[in-house]
Chain A
Amino acid sequence: MIYVTLNTVSELLCFLVGLFCLANDKQAIWKLLVVYLLFTLLVEVGGIHLRRVMHTSNVMLYNFALIMECLTVSIVFYQFYRNHKNKMAGLIIWLAVFFVCYFLELLSSGFKNFVFKTTSFMSIVFVLASMYYYYLILKDEEFRELKSYAPFWWVSGTLFFYFGSTACNVFYDYFMGDRTQLSGLVRYWIFCFLDIILYGCWSYSFICRYKQRTSRRSSF
Chain B
Amino acid sequence: MQVQTENIATLIILTTIVFLIAPLFLLIFINQYNKRKRKHADEKKALHKTFQNELLKSQMEVQEQTLQRVAIDLHDNIGQLLSLTAITLSAVSINDQAGIPEKINSAEMLVKRSIKELRQLSRIIYGEELISNGLADAIRFELEWLNKSAAYTIVFNPLNYVQAENEAAKEIILFRLFQEIINNIIKHATATTIDITLQQSPENLTLSITDNGKGFDLNAALKEGKGMGLKTIHKRASLINGTAVVSSAPDKGTQIEIIIPYP
Contacts and interface: CB of A to CB of B under 8 A. Distances in A.
Interface string A90-121: 00000000000000000000000000000000
Contact of B20 (A131, A164, A182): A164
B27 A183 contact: no
Contacts of A182: 5-6, 9
A160 B40 CA distance: 29
A183 B33 contact: no
B12 A166 contact: no
Contacts of B26: 131, 134, 159
B30 interface: yes
Interface in A18-75: none
A159 B27 CA distance: 10
B6 to A, nearest CB: 7
A134 B34 contact: no
A174 B23 CA distance: 25
Contacts of B23: 130, 156, 159-160, 163-164
Contacts of A174: 8
Interface in B4-29: 5-6, 8-9, 12-13, 15-16, 19-20, 22-23, 26-27
B6 A146 contact: no
Contacts of B13: 186, 190
A197 B37 CA distance: 27
Contacts of B204: none
B41 interface: yes
A164 to B, nearest CB: 5
A171 B13 CA distance: 11
B44 to A, nearest CB: 10
Contacts of B34: 137, 143-144, 146
Nearest to B39: A143
| 5 A-B pairs with least C-beta separation | A167-B15, A143-B41, A186-B9, A167-B16, A164-B20
B33 A163 contact: no
Interface residues of B, number: 23
B226 interface: no
Contacts of A130: 23
Contacts of B5: 178, 180, 182-183
A190 B18 CA distance: 13
23 contacts: A134-B26, A134-B30, A143-B34, A143-B37, A143-B38, A144-B34, A146-B30, A146-B31, A146-B34, A159-B23, A163-B20, A163-B22, A164-B16, A164-B19, A164-B20, A166-B16, A166-B19, A168-B16, A178-B8, A182-B5, A187-B12, A190-B12, A197-B20
Nearest to A137: B30
Interface in A159-218: 159-160, 163-168, 170-171, 174, 178, 180, 182-183, 186-187, 190, 197
A2 B211 CA distance: 95
A138 interface: yes
